[in-house]
Structure 1
Amino acid sequence: MAKNKRILLSALVLFLGYFLVDSFFEFSFKSDEISSEDLKVMSYNARGFNVNGWSTDKKIGDEIIDFVLEENPDIICFQEFSRIRNKQLKHNYKYSFVAPDYKIKKAVQGIYSKFPIINTGVLSFANTGNNASFADIAYKNDTIRVYNLHLESLKVVPDMETISNEESSKLYGRITKSFKKQQDQAKIVQEHIKGNLYKTIVCGDFNNNQYSNVYRTIKGGLQDTFNEKGVAYGRTYNFKYYPVRIDFILVSSEFNVTGHKNYDIKLSDHFPVMASFNLRINK
C-alpha cells in the first residue's frame, strides 16, 4: 500500500509539473503535405547521433543522416548535434553554423542550410549545459533569422517505474529548479526576438509543452506550425505512457504555413518535425 501511494504521488508530481494539459489534440482529419515548392524547415534533437552509446545499435548515427537527406529539408536545426557528422551533411548543405565553440562545454547545436548564412550568433545561457543559437539566412532577396533552441532539461527519465522509485520531494525540487532555469532562458530568447528586424523562424527542443509559460513566453505572436497544419497529438518525445509535444517550429506572421509533419522514426528519444511555408504576398 505504501509503495502504491508513493508511485501515485510521484506520478502526480510529474504530471502536474510537466505533462499537465487540457485538450491538445488537433482535430484535423488529414495533415497538409509538406510542399516541395516552399521553404522546408526541420527541427531534430538527434541525441548526439548515439555518439555516447545510449543505444547498442551502432547504425543509428548513419540512419539519422540517411533520414535527413531523404526528407531533404532546406534548413535543419539539430539539437544535441555531433560534429563528426559534418562531412556527411556538407554534401547536401553548403552552409552551416555549429555552436558553441569547441572550448565551451555545452551541448552542441547545428544549423544546416541550402541558402547562404550571412550572420550567426549565440545566446549564452548561464550555469547550464544548454544553449541557443541563430543564423541569418539569405532567402529570395530577403533575410530570415532562424533560431535553434535547446532549453534546460528536467532530467526526468521517461519511464514511470523509474519516476515512481524516486522520492517525490526530490523529484519536485529538481523539476522546480529546472522550470526556473527554463523560464529565465525563455525570457532571454524573448528579448532577443524582440530586437530582431528579420522574418523569424524558431526551432527547438523546449523541454516543456505547449501549455507552459516557457512556450507562451517564446511564442508570443508567432505561429505554431503544428497548430496551423498539424494533426492528432503531434508527439515529439518518446515518453512511454503519454504523447508529449515539446519540440516546436514557430514562425512570424510574414510566413504562410503550408504544411506540418510529425515523424514516428525512433532514432533518438525525440521525434523530428518538419514544416513548410512561403512568404505572404502583400496586396
Structure 2
Amino acid sequence: MRKKSKIWNKLIYAVNLFTAFLLFLTSTLSFFETQFLAVLSLFVPFLFFLNLVFLVFWLLRRKRQFLLSFLSLLFGYISFGSFYGFGEKSKEPLDSDLKVMSYNVMGFNKHGWLRIPDVEAKISDLIVLEDPDVICIQEYNETSDDWLDTYPYRRVAPYSRTVKRTIQAILSKYPIINNGSLNLPQTSNNIIYADLVVSTDTIRVYNTHLESFKIVPSSRTFSSDQSEKNYKRLVSTFAKQQEQVKILNEHRAKSPYKTIVCGDFNNTQFSHVYKTVSGGLNDSFLEKGNGFGKTYSLKGFPLRIDYILTDPEFEVIAHKNYTERLSDHYPIMATLRLKK
C-alpha cells in the first residue's frame, strides 16, 4: 500500500512538474516576440489554476514539493501581474472627471446572431444611463450615423466598398480638433484616433480593434483535420497583432498629447501583444477593477480582451465592467482624472 502511494505521488509530481514548466515557459515568452509558442498564453489561467491546486495538495500533505508550484506562481505573478481585481475603493468623482467607455457592439447584431430584439436601442439606453463623456465603439454599423445624437462630436472610420474593414467610431461630448486612421495593412481591422479638447488640455484617444482569431470553438476545432489549420491561424493572428501594435506604438510615440488607448485587442493580458501596448501605461481594470474583468465569454470561460489604458498623467478613479449581454463583448468604462 505504501509502495502504491509513492508511485501515485511520483505521478502527481510529474504532472505538477509539467504544468509548472509550462507556466514558467509562458511567463518567460511573454517578454519576447514569438508566435509559434505564443499560443500558450491563451492557457495561462488554466496553468495558474492547476498550479494552485498542486500547491494546496502538497501543503495539505506537508510536502516540500509545494515549492515547485509556489515558485512558478510567483514568477507568473511577477510576469503578468494580478488578473483578479479586488475592487479597490473608488474615489469620489468630480464633475471634471472624464468617463471613457469602450464597447465592441458587433454591428448592433445586424446579422442576427443574438436572439435579442432591438439591440441597437438597448445599447443606446445603456449608454444614456451610464452617460460616458467619450465612447470608443468597435464594429460600428455604417447605417447608424445619427445614432446617439447627444454626442455632437464624432469620428467614424470611412467605409470603403473596395477595402472591407470593420467600422470604428469615437463619439465625444468634447470637441474633436483632429482625427485620423492608421489604416492597418492587409486586415479588416483598424485603429482610429481623435484629439479632444477637454477644458484647457488636448487628449488623444485611440480606438483599437486588433486582428481576430476567427476561430469558433466547437467539437471540430480540435479534430485532427482542423487542429493543424487552426494552430497555423493562431500563429498567423499573433504575428498580425504584433505588427499592428508596433504601428500603434510608433504612431503613439509621436503624439504631443496625453494618450488614452481603448479597444478590443482580441488577446489576453498574458500575451506579448498586451505587454507591447501597455508598456508605460496604466490599465484601468488593474487599477480599480473587480473580479476577473470579463469582457468576452468563451464557452462560459471569462476572458478579458478589451482594455482602457492611460498615460500616467491620468489617475484612474473608477473602473466598471458590465454584464449586459447585447453583443459578443461586454462594455467597460473608466473614470479618469488628470493629475495636477
User: What is the TM-score normalised by the length of structure 1?
Assistant: 0.88
Pair 28,255 (structure 1): closer, same or farther in 2 beyond 3 Å: same
1:212 has 2:271 as partner? yes
Residue 17 of structure 1: CA displacement? 5.0
Structure 1 contact 260–275 (Cα < 8 Å) conserved = yes
Aligned equivalents of 2:220, 2:100: Cα separation in 1: 35
What pairs up with 1:235-250 in 2 under 5 angstroms?
235-250=294-309
1:95 has 2:121 as partner? no
Pair 14,169 (structure 1): closer, same or farther in 2 beyond 3 Å: farther
1:116-137 deviation digits (Å, cap 9, x = unpaired): 0000000111111000000000
Residue 31 of structure 1: CA displacement? 5.4
| Alignment correspondent of 1:177 | 236
Task: Give 5+ residue unaligned stretches, structure 1.
Answer: 1-12
| Alignment correspondent of 1:26 | 84
- Aligned partner of residue 89 in structure 1, secondary structure: coil
| Alignment correspondent of 2:200 | 141
Equivalent of 1:253 in 295, 304, 312:
312
% identical equivalent positions: 46
- Aligned partner of residue 62 in structure 1, secondary structure: helix
Residue 28 of structure 1: CA displacement? 1.4
Equivalent of 1:109 in 137, 148, 168:
168
- For 1:18, give the aligned amino acid: L
Pair 27,268 (structure 1): closer, same or farther in 2 beyond 3 Å: closer
Pair 15,125 (structure 1): closer, same or farther in 2 beyond 3 Å: closer
- Number of aligned positions between the proteins: 267
Pair 206,79 (structure 1): closer, same or farther in 2 beyond 3 Å: same
Pair 19,268 (structure 1): closer, same or farther in 2 beyond 3 Å: farther
Structure 2 contact 85–288 (Cα < 8 Å) conserved = no
Aligned equivalents of 1:80, 1:160: Cα separation in 2: 24
- Aligned partner of residue 129 in structure 1, secondary structure: coil
| Alignment correspondent of 1:279 | 338
| Alignment correspondent of 2:107 | 48
Residue 58 of structure 1: CA displacement? 3.1
- For 1:240, give the aligned amino acid: K
1:265 has 2:289 as partner? no
| Alignment correspondent of 1:86 | 145
Aligned equivalents of 2:290, 2:117: Cα separation in 1: 33
Pair 268,31 (structure 1): closer, same or farther in 2 beyond 3 Å: farther
| Alignment correspondent of 1:155 | 214
- Aligned partner of residue 210 in structure 1, secondary structure: coil
Residue 34 of structure 1: CA displacement? 8.4
Aligned equivalents of 2:116, 2:298: Cα separation in 1: 20
- Aligned partner of residue 65 in structure 1, secondary structure: helix
1:69 has 2:121 as partner? no
Task: Give 5+ residue unaligned stretches, structure 2.
Answer: 1-36, 49-76
Structure 2 contact 260–309 (Cα < 8 Å) conserved = yes
- For 1:16, give the aligned amino acid: L
1:234-278 deviation digits (Å, cap 9, x = unpaired): 011121242110000000011111000011111111000000011
Pair 29,139 (structure 1): closer, same or farther in 2 beyond 3 Å: closer
Residue 26 of structure 1: CA displacement? 2.6
- For 1:167, give the aligned amino acid: Q
Which range is displaced more, 231-240 or 33-42? Answer: 33-42
Structure 1 contact 97–135 (Cα < 8 Å) conserved = yes
Aligned equivalents of 2:292, 2:115: Cα separation in 1: 29
1:164 has 2:222 as partner? yes
Coordinate RMSD, CA, aligned: 2.0
Which range is displaced more, 26-35 or 95-104? Answer: 26-35
Equivalent of 1:188 in 247, 250, 266:
247
Equivalent of 2:40 in 2, 13, 16:
16
Residue 219 of structure 1: CA displacement? 1.1
1:57-101 deviation digits (Å, cap 9, x = unpaired): 2311211111111111000000000132232311x1010000034
1:228 has 2:252 as partner? no
- For 1:20, give the aligned amino acid: V
Higher helix share goes to which structure? 2
- For 2:314, give the aligned amino acid: F
| Alignment correspondent of 2:16 | none
